[in-house]
């Protein structure tokens, strides 16, 4: 399966995506825990059906030491006992921030308050940027029908 568009060979995409990559590096370097970042990125990608991002974030999280049990249970995090309360708050915020159209009010006050109990202002900012970033990356991949499966762990960073 070939992608509809090769972003690497597109002059306009190449110029724009270098700034996107720079933003991604800033988020990655934030004080938001790396494991939380990978879990959130994986969950958003699952919701959006972005195979390349699921491939990348599953492999990168495993490379960083994340357990297979936790990675396999991200899709069912509400029922799983392997996530911390802080991770649960981040996953809830990520889901509501991704599924904006499903809720007239967008992200609920309770969800926001719960996240704010576990993360400081800088971490919340990084979390919101990550949620937005992942939704954009997912859309770029899904629309272009980028294939998945051949990502080499750690190669994007």
Helix-, strand-, coil-residue percentages of the chain, each rounded to 5: 70, 0, 30
Q: Write down the pLDDT at residue 152.
A: 82
Find all residues with CB under 8 Å of 47, minimum gap 6, and list them: 95, 98, 99
Per-residue pLDDT of the chain (157 residues; tens, 9 = 90+): 788 888 888 899 889 999 999 999 999 999 999 999 999 999 999 999 999 999 999 999 999 999 999 999 999 999 999 999 999 999 999 999 999 887 767 889 999 999 999 999 999 999 999 999 999 999 999 998 888 888 788 777 6
* Rounded CA separation 44/142 (Å): 13
Q: Write down the pLDDT at residue 157.
A: 61
CATH code for the part of the protein at 8-144: 1.20.1290.10
Domain assignments of the chain as residue spans, ordered by start: 8-144
């Amino acid at each position: 399966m070939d992608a509809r568009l090769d972003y690497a060979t597109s002059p306009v995409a190449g110029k724009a995506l270098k700034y996107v990559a720079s933003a991604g590096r800033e988020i990655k370097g934030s004080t938001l825990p790396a494991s939380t970042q990978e879990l959130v990125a994986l969950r958003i990608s699952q919701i959006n059906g972005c195979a390349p991002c699921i491939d990348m974030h599953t492999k990168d999280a495993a490379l960083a030491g994340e357990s297979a049990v936790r990675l396999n249970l991200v899709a069912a995090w509400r029922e799983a006992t392997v996530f911390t309360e802080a991770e649960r708050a981040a996953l809830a915020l990520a889901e509501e921030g991704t599924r904006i159209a499903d809720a007239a009010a967008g992200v609920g006050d309770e969800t926001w308050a719960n996240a704010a109990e576990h993360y400081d202002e800088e971490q919340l900012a990084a979390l919101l940027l990550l949620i937005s970033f992942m939704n954009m990356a997912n859309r770029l991949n899904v629309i272009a029908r980028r294939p998945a499966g051949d990502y080499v762990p750690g190669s994007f960073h």
